[in-house]
């Protein structure tokens, strides 16, 4: 079977985005790319599961940019931050730099107002990872020029399928390379020099593990072993916000599986 892809011309790109295959993309963009086949654009997991992962990625971006504190609340009387698992606190208002981040921040503000007790993190993931989040994220990546609309033609052109492809294969390839380097830093420390992974790379490792995408990293390592190493990277990094969100995504995906069996 031969597959032909005809891509539309990419739209103009805002100045905030660098179309450089060597550039590090936002966390949610890298996760989106790793969750799709580079050549066909086919989704590699359930769309609803990816929506939970994308929601987690956007929340982590807000956390790393210090718009939202995950797992902490501010004591106005003592004037200090206190650890409180499951809590989401808006540190500073938007705009946060992009439409997806602004929407995620607005949703955090609503949860903080309306869901004062219980696990706000899990509640936020359930409410924000709606059916249209996947399409909204994809549309945003098309709008900034990271994805291009394409058409797959099969069986001599008789079957046509609409799809979306990265404008350059360098983006997903580089994301996979960062993950491999993070694993190598821990697996071969003392024998091979690698730079310690930063928060965003660790978050990507954790989300890939939670969504069971390790087999599509083309690493050569056994999938089970690689997944364990990805969790190891998260654990050793000791960033409580990253750990909390990744664990919530993992649990959220488990909730979807249970719901599907009922």
Q: Determine contact, residues 69/211, Cβ cutoff 8 Å.
A: no
Q: For 16-20, 35-39, 64-68, 148-152, which range has the lowest pLDDT when averaged over its residues?
A: 16-20
Q: Of 256, 244, 258, which is closest to residue 121 (Cα–Cα)?
A: 244
Tokens representing 108 are 């955090």
3-state secondary structure of 147: strand
Classify burial at 75, counting beta carbons within 10 Å of its beta carbon; exposed 0-12, middle 13-18, buried 19 or more: exposed
What average pLDDT does the chain have? 87
How many whole angstroms separate alpha carbon 155 and alpha carbon 108?
47
User: 66 pLDDT band (50/70/90 cuts)?
Assistant: very high
In a domain, 21, yes or no: no
Its domain, for residue 230, covers: 26-261
pLDDT at residue number 157: 59
CATH number at residue 130: 1.10.3630.10
- 226 occurs within a structural domain: yes
13/174: higher pLDDT: 174
**Residue 12 is assigned to a structural domain of this protein:** no
In the structure encoding, which two tokens stand for residue 184, read together?
A: 């190598």
Among 25-29, 114-118, 197-201, 254-258, the range scoring the smallest mean pLDDT is 254-258
At residue 160, the pLDDT reads 77
**Domain assignment present for 54:** yes
Per-residue burial over 102-125, b if 16 or more Cβ lie within 10 Å, else e, is ebbbebbeebbeeeeeebbbbebb
What is the per-residue pLDDT for 63? 97
My answer on whether omega of the bond before 95 falls inside 30° of 0, hence cis, is yes
Number of domains in the chain: 1
Residue 47 lies in a domain: yes
* Residue 15 is assigned to a structural domain of this protein: no
**Residue pLDDT, tens place only, 235-252:** 999 999 999 999 999 999
Percentage above 90 pLDDT, the chain: 65
How far apart are alpha carbons 53 and 31 in whole angstroms? 8
Task: Write down the pTM of the prediction.
Answer: 0.88
User: pLDDT tens for residues 11-62?
Assistant: 333 334 456 666 779 999 999 999 999 999 999 999 999 999 999 999 999 9
| Amino acid 259: pLDDT | 63
By the 8 A CB rule, do 210 and 251 touch? no
Q: Indicate whether 79 pLDDT > 90.
A: no
Residue 188's pLDDT band (boundaries 50, 70, 90)?
Answer: confident
Question: What is the DSSP secondary structure assignment for residue 248, as one 8-state letter?
Answer: H
In a domain, 18, yes or no: no
Region 61-73 average pLDDT: 95
Residue 2's pLDDT is 32
Q: Give domain status of residue 175, yes or no.
A: yes
166 close to 147: Cβ distance less than 8 angstroms: yes
Is residue 71 a contact partner of residue 245, using CB atoms and an 8 Å limit?
no
Helix (H) or strand (E) holding 166: strand 159-166
């Amino acid at each position: 079977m031969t597959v032909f892809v005809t891509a539309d011309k990419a739209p103009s790109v805002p100045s905030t985005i660098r179309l450089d295959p060597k550039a590090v993309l936002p966390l949610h963009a890298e996760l989106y790319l790793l969750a799709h086949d580079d050549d066909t654009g086919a989704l590699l997991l359930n769309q609803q599961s990816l929506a939970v992962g994308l929601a987690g990625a956007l929340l982590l971006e807000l956390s790393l940019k210090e718009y939202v504190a995950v797992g902490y609340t501010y004591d106005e009387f003592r004037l200090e931050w206190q650890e409180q698992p499951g809590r989401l606190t808006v540190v500073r208002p938007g705009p946060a730099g992009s439409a997806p981040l602004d929407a995620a921040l607005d949703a955090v503000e609503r949860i903080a107002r309306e869901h004062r007790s219980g696990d706000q993190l899990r509640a936020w993931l359930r409410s924000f990872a709606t059916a249209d989040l996947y399409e909204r994220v994809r549309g945003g990546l098309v709008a900034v020029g990271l994805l291009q609309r394409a058409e797959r033609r099969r069986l001599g052109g008789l079957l046509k399928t609409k799809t979306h492809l990265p404008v350059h294969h360098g983006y997903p390839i580089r994301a996979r390379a960062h993950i491999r380097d993070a694993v190598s830093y821990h697996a071969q420390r003392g024998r091979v020099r690698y730079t310690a992974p930063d928060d965003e790379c660790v978050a990507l490792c954790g989300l890939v593990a939670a969504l069971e995408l390790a087999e599509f990293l083309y690493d050569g390592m056994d999938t089970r072993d690689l997944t364990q190493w990805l969790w190891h990277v998260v654990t050793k990094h000791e960033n409580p916000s990253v750990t909390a969100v990744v664990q919530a995504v993992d649990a959220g995906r488990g909730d979807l599986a249970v719901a599907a069996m009922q």
